[in-house]
Amino acid sequence: MQVNINAVHFKTDKKLDQFITDKIEKLSGLYDGIISSEVTLRLEKNEAVENKIAEIKLMVRGSDLFAKKQSKSFEEATDIAVEALRRQLTRHKEKMRGE
């Protein structure tokens, strides 16, 4: 599965890229219909502690799934977004089986 990581106005390090890739690739074990994914990381320009945003779009057979989460670190935001996508994938699989 292809994982595209885009960081808005900053450069990610290899450790963060690998963390995100590993998390998303675990989802492909749940459902083999995942074609690719796009991850967008951005910093919100307010003074809040939780100013890091991770948006993940999964292209799967039949539709696209999307999760956007905000947290104090990109790793935590990615964890929460991947968990939301895991639930969406489970529902998507059940819907595909039911049709």
The share of the chain scoring above pLDDT 70, in percent, equals: 99
Q: Which helix (H) or strand (E) holds 70?
A: strand 63-71
Over 80: is that where the pLDDT of 47 sits?
no
Domains in the chain, ordered, with CATH? 2-98 (3.30.160.100)
Pick the more confident residue, 60 or 49: 60
The predicted model gives 86-96 an average pLDDT of 91
**pTM for this prediction:** 0.91
Q: Partners of 36 in the beta sheet?
A: 2, 59
The predicted model gives 40-49 an average pLDDT of 87
70 burial via Cβ count (<10 Å: 0-12, 13-18, 19+): middle
The predicted model gives 73-78 an average pLDDT of 96
By the 8 A CB rule, do 31 and 93 touch? yes
Q: Partners of 69 in the beta sheet?
A: 54
